[in-house]
Amino acid sequence: MPELLEEQRESWGTRGGFILAAVGSAVGLGNLWGFPYKLYTYGGGAFLIPYILALFIVGIPLLILEFSLGHFTQRAAPDAFRRGHKGFEVIGWWGIILGFVIITYYPVILAYCFSFLGYSIAGIFSGGNLPWAGQGIEGVEKARNFFFDNYLHYHEGLSLGSIQWDIVWMLVVSWLAMYLSIFKGVKLVGKIVWITVPVPWLMLLILAIRGLTLEGSSQGLAYYLQPVWSELAKPTTWRYAFGQVFFSLSLAFGVMITYASFLHRKSDINNNAAIIGLADFATSFVAGLAVFATLGAMAFATQQAGTPVPVENVAKEGPSLAFVAFPYALAQLPYSAWFSFVFFFALITLGIDSAFSITESVLASIVDKTGWRRAIVLPVISVVGLGFGFFYVTQGGLNWLGIVDGFINGTWGIAFLGLLECTTLGWLWRINTLRKHANSRSDWRLGWWWDYLIRIVIPILLGTLFFWQLFDDLAAESGFIKMPDGKWNLANLVGLGIVSIAPVIAIILTIVKGKGENEHQVEKDLPTDGTGEGIGVFASSVIAAGVFVALIFTDQMKSYILWVIFGMAILSTLGVLYSSYLVDKHGNSRNEASWFVRWAGLIFVLDVSAFLAIALNLLTKAVKTEKAEPVVREMMSGISMIVLTAALVLIVGGLGWCFYKAIAAAATEKTMEIQAPEED
């Protein structure tokens, strides 16, 4: 396979540099701040089931896909997609724009961390006094007031209120740190991540060991790990598990495509992706151990002091776990200021490399398209990103942060982009070219099943989740667009506005011709084989879609409806399989199968998803979705021990297997040759 581009592209110094940079992007606030509370809220140990399924079936395979695409084309996301077809560039930009929206608010959370780091340092110097420290239940209230009133000057609702200048300065510090990390190019990034990745790991380890060795810690772990199986019957649990895998692995925003484009030509892909995926899970899991062990110790300490605060009282803080519950818990324990320093330092070092990975991918996309200089584009991106950040450092800013984050990581953001990405690459492009590309240089190989995973299994999973969420949101009673009192739901309209502007801008950017573009590298698209059969299957796929639309407008409460839905789902699945067979028969590898066949497959996949989703929607309406009353748990049960052991075995065994494969591959002469680093 001739390389597409012979030009010299900047590269990471070493394999380690790339792995750490990708891990740095993946491992972020999502791990320490997101994962533990989501696991606690959505079923404890039971949450690990959808999470691990999502990680292995969707997360790691998509990571391999994004790495292959970036590496094969050596281009940042938009231009990488463009190699398939001019129009695909839209998908690349779409992700980049949503990524840009993330870096308007992600550094704001970093700014909070910088402030709290400051308070912790001041605490260390003032003999261990933390400003939020307090006793018993009132202490929890005090910590909450400290964060919301003293620090944020928070108010409910959608009005922004005044700008909080104390936070603005910290936001400037965050952007400056990001700017300094990437302004010199990826080679320097490859070095910086040798600090920003191991340091938070060390800190997490310190927090975990300390938490676990304190008295009462197992009480906390009982909350973290005890499975609540009934949560698995709720759609939200599955959505959150899938969404968390996407967000945590930085998938669908073009970041991993861009990072892989800087990987030198002979580097491994498959094994790197597996290592990164497992390392990310390991970090989340250990972060959860650290958080909940500490909460357990806090519960014990307050019990001893005669002012008991049970774990569930603070764990329910959810998103403000990092700025209310955890700081409070630390304040109950010895050397609180020091450990609070360790905690916020860990958050900052975790988050900073995730944040700059997005800036880097926006930057590289613009540079690849326009040919403008990094030295000019980066300051502009930083100033614009910082400017948008002002919205969130206001009194109502945190509300908006939640709304925007919810949209980006919800139905129209991640879920939709992931779907678009696999269907496009799987049906409209040449998935097996990417597979061969990845296999030719990896420590282990992907089999033929890979093509079907990307083309059929993942899109159906993501598609079903997407439509399911859509039905939920659009159901009149959800109040998503119009609230029960008839008023417009302003927050959601703004959110919808943001996510729907993204494709419009993406289309404009695609149409504008860039200087960095090179027409002859775009593949010619005149595939015509199997047009006759193609028109037939294409028509059937559209008819199936028509049946679906008709279903929406009929009374779904009729008893035969479920049978119609399942019948259509099965017929559409047959359509998917037949289209897939036709695509392969007419030569997928040389892009020869006609567009009709390809689009038929794509539409059939969406048909299957839509029918499954509507069925799930009808079936789960019957399931009660109230949250069970929290049960007081004193000790870790046998089953939590099993969950703990299983997770650790999976992490250690998985990583062990990857490293074994890497060493074995390096030992065979053939791979030695391939793996030899290029001169730079």
Residue 250 or 617: which CB sits closer to ligand PHE? 250
CB of 195 to ligand PHE, least distance (A): 18
**CB of 195 or CB of 674, closer to ligand PHE:** 195
Minimum CB distance to ligand PHE smaller for 347 or for 438: 347
Nearer to ligand PHE, 28 or 654 (CB): 28
236 within 8 A of 42, measured Cβ to Cβ: yes
Question: What's the CA gap between 450 and 426, in Å, rounded?
Answer: 10
CA–CA–CA angle 495, 497, 500 (5° rounding): 110
CB of 99 to ligand PHE, least distance (A): 6
Task: Report the residue number, 11 or 244, with the smaller CB distance to ligand PHE.
Answer: 244
Q: Give the nearest distance from C-beta 513 to ligand PHE in angstroms.
A: 28
State in angstroms the smallest separation of the CB of 284 from ligand PHE. 8
* Contact present, 442 and 67 (Cβ < 8 Å): no
Contact 197, 350 (CB under 8 A): no
Q: Least distance to ligand PHE from the beta carbon of 108, Å?
A: 13
Residue 440: name the closest of 269, 590, 588 by CA: 269
Cβ–Cβ < 8 Å for 264, 190: no
State the minimum distance, in angstroms, from the CB of residue 620 to ligand PHE: 28
In the structure encoding, which two tokens stand for residue 280, read together? 């990310």
User: Residue 75: which of 273, 272, 259, 268 has the closest Cα?
Assistant: 259
> Is the Cβ of residue 100 or residue 224 nearer to ligand PHE in the bound state?
100
Distance CA 210, CA 219 (A): 15
User: Which of these, 307, 294, 289, lies nearest to 224 by C-alpha position?
Assistant: 289
Residues 6+ apart with CB under 8 A from 196: 24, 181, 349, 350, 352, 353
Residue 357 Cβ vs ligand PHE, minimum distance, rounded to whole Å: 5
| Rounded alpha-carbon distances, angstroms, from residue 451 to 285, 392, 419, 582 | 30, 42, 15, 14
Burial of 530 (0-12, 13-18, 19+ CB in 10 A): buried
Cβ-based nearer residue to ligand PHE, 418 or 527? 418
Nearer to ligand PHE, 301 or 417 (CB): 417
- Residue 307 C-beta: closest distance to ligand PHE, Å: 35
Q: Give the count of alpha carbons within 13 A of 675, CB side only.
A: 20
Residue pair 333/258 in contact (Cβ under 8 Å)? The answer is no
Q: Write out the two tokens for 99.
A: 């990524």
- Shortest separation between residue 250's beta carbon and ligand PHE, angstroms: 3
User: Rounded CA gap, 327 and 579, in Å?
Assistant: 56
Closer residue to ligand PHE in complex, CB, 274/583: 274
Residue whose entry in the numeric block shows the structure tokens 């119009």? 482
Supply the minimum distance, in Å, between the C-beta of residue 194 and ligand PHE: 19
User: C-beta of 412: minimal distance to ligand PHE in Å?
Assistant: 15
* Nearest to ligand PHE of 358, 662 (CB atom): 358
Binding site for ligand PHE (CB under 6 A): 25-26, 28-31, 99, 102, 247-248, 250, 253, 255, 354, 357-358
Nearer to ligand PHE, 105 or 339 (CB): 105
Q: Which residues are within 8 A (CB) of 296 and not within 5 positions of it... i.e. 6 or more apart?
A: 211, 214, 216, 217, 218, 219, 220, 221, 222, 223, 311
Cβ closest to ligand PHE, residue 404 vs residue 537: 404
Find residue 163's DSSP bridge partners.
394
Contact 191, 272 (CB under 8 A): no
Least distance to ligand PHE from the beta carbon of 487, Å?
Answer: 33
CA distance 94 to 429: 18
Q: Which two tokens stand for residue 544?
A: 């199936």
In the complex, the smallest distance separating the C-beta of residue 644 from ligand PHE, rounded to whole angstroms, is: 23
Distance of alpha carbon 531 from alpha carbon 536, whole angstroms: 9
Q: CB atoms < 10 A from the CB of 447, how many? A: 10
Q: Give the Cα separation of 355 and 420 in Å (integer).
A: 24
By beta-carbon proximity to ligand PHE, the closer residue of 146 and 175 is: 175
Which amino acid would we find at residue 160?
A: L
Token duo for residue 349 = 């070092």
